[in-house]
Chain A
Amino acid sequence: MAYYNEKIETLPKLELEKLQYQELKVLVDRLYANSAFYHDRMKAAGVLPSDIKSISDITKLPFMRKTDLRDNYPDKLVCCSKEDLVRYHVSSGTTGKPTVVAYTKNDLDTWSEAVARSLVSCGLGRGDVLQVAYGYGLFTGGLGLHYGGEKLGATVIPASTGNSERQIELIQDLQTTAIACTPSYFVHLIDVAKKIGVDIAKDTKLRTAILGAEPWSESMRRYIHEQSGVTAHNIFGTSEISGPMFTDCQELNGMHISGDIAYTEIIDPETGESLPAGEKGELTMTILTKEAIPMIRYRIGDITSIFPGDCPCGRTSPRIDRLQGRVDDMLVIRGINVFPSAVEHALLRVPELTSHFMLEVFRNGPLDDMLVKVELKPDAMTDSINGLIGLQSRVERTLRDTLNVSAKVELCPPNSLPRFEGKAKRVIDTRVF
């Protein structure tokens, strides 16, 4: 099976543009008529639905940002009847206030369709056994791959994260052929397998890995292949556009963004101008048929470029390069997005601490570790060691609850952390991807 949906995936470019235009037109008409948020935004930008006469007119529409989701928390952006919502996902936001994404049944179908197409492009089909070792829950990774895999007709193992020896046991006993997880976790699994005497290349049927949710590199792709015989594919997506959706195909040369689902632009983050293929800029996406919370020209914040030229696989959708960085200070820790501003916000809730902190991110073996150094207020001192350790654990709990990822906390004396004049540099990231 070369394609999941051959007609649409190989649609000639002009026809694809026509389809994109039709979808955008329907979307814009609906939003202008039914949503106060989008209506006001378009009015403020001086654009009417009638100004959209071709897909390239999309650049007339105003951008959306993560702050729009935060400011309209939890559900003010929902553009359908609440009864039509079938799921929520929640991710951590920029200031500790979470970002909520809602889905209708059609939204879930579109998301699953995108994942199913991607899995086929990685060489998967019916009969494959897909072990989903992304987190299940509010994070979109687990359920996203799960439903995509089932839609394709693969056999899905909802392993979720953690318990590495158990993961290896499942890979062996259930004859897993493909795994989806973060790249660092897969490298960790290779190490664990070796430790317990399992050679992934010889002792298992695992041949494909779908890796994403955190930055990684071509050298890691080679390392994984050398160490395990597994071909690693890159997957892209964020909760705002639904979740993980798009992978590189078997050519391993860029992630195909299905054109009927998403319209991709690369813009200059300073001026907002669209950039031509080949040039690096901020990834911006419009999800053309989204019902619950439509995203129009959503500035994802990742830096990448669109590959010029066609892919030999025959898919006509544009391909984007690996993510090259961020336009903001967002960090990805064990696959979870972390904003330093959210750390600051969480720490403000602990009255024993000053507002100064430092965030150190490093690799502990293949996995990420985050250390947050915080400052004790002078009057919060106690003679009780248990009291101080209790404070440390309370801060760790507060951070984990806000960020959805665990961090170690180090208590520091008052006035011992750096003070900044001008822009604070509170993050020290020593990871090499």
Chain B
Amino acid sequence: MTNSKYFIKQLSIFSENKSGKLAAIAKIFHESQVNIHAFSIAEANSFGVVRAIVDKPDVAFAAFSKENYALQYTDVLGVKMADVPGGLFEVASTLGNIGINIEYAYAFRTGEFGTLIVKVSNSEEAVDKILAAGLELVPATDYNF
């Protein structure tokens, strides 16, 4: 149960793969006064999925729903990385050694350290393993308010 404090609420937003669509999405964040901490776009065939870590996910969810977007919350984990050469290698090799398969990942930096956002198949179990391996996880409250 205590592991859930590391579950960061990510928004996954369905988008058409067309010019101007990212601006339309950014505008909704802007107008609802939601700040984006981290962000990525995955594209497939004719569509894309915009994934974002924001300060007020529930406000954003409501704003996007009102504009008829299809979106979903997804739990992801934030693994701290030293912001030096080899920082990603240390995290990635540790995750590999303890048998955690990363479905997708993206990274960003806040303050002194970097954060690797990872989507894993079983977050509950992954938190135990990651902490046991000596890596540090960012609590969700650092991002979602």
Interface residues of A (CB under 8 A from B): 376-385, 388-389, 392, 410-416
How many chain B residues touch A (Cβ–Cβ < 8 Å)? 21
Residue from the list A379, A383, A389, A411 in contact with B12, Cβ < 8 A: A383
Given contacts A376-B14, A412-B16, is CB(A383)–CB(B46) below 8 Å? no
Inter-chain contact A377/B119, CB cutoff 8 Å: no
- Distance A392 CA – B65 CA, assembled complex (angstroms): 22
Complex A-B: 11 CB contacts under 8 Å? A376-B70, A377-B70, A379-B70, A381-B14, A389-B44, A411-B14, A413-B14, A413-B15, A413-B69, A414-B69, A416-B68
B residues near A415, Cβ cutoff 8 Å: 68
Given contacts A388-B47, A413-B14, is CB(A382)–CB(B68) below 8 Å? no
- Distance A384 CA – B119 CA, assembled complex (angstroms): 10
Given contacts A376-B14, A416-B16, is CB(A411)–CB(B65) below 8 Å? no
A residues near B10, Cβ cutoff 8 Å: 383
Residue from the list B16, B51, B72, B119 in contact with A381, Cβ < 8 A: B72
Least distance between B62 CB and chain A CB atoms (Å): 12
B residues near A377, Cβ cutoff 8 Å: 70
Interface residues of B (CB under 8 A from A): 10, 12, 14-16, 42, 44-47, 49, 51, 65, 68-72, 74, 103, 119
Inter-chain contact B69/A383, CB cutoff 8 Å: no
Inter-chain contact A413/B12, CB cutoff 8 Å: no
Inter-chain contact B70/A413, CB cutoff 8 Å: yes
Chain A, Cβ-Cβ closest to B65: A378
A residues near B42, Cβ cutoff 8 Å: 385
Given contacts A376-B14, A383-B12, is CB(A411)–CB(B68) below 8 Å? no
Inter-chain contact B72/A383, CB cutoff 8 Å: yes
- Distance A382 CA – B44 CA, assembled complex (angstroms): 13
Least distance between B99 CB and chain A CB atoms (Å): 21
Chain A, Cβ-Cβ closest to B12: A383
Least distance between B68 CB and chain A CB atoms (Å): 4
A-B contact sample (13 more), CB < 8 A, given A379-B70, A385-B49: A378-B65, A378-B71, A381-B71, A381-B72, A382-B72, A388-B14, A388-B44, A410-B45, A411-B45, A411-B47, A412-B47, A413-B68, A414-B68
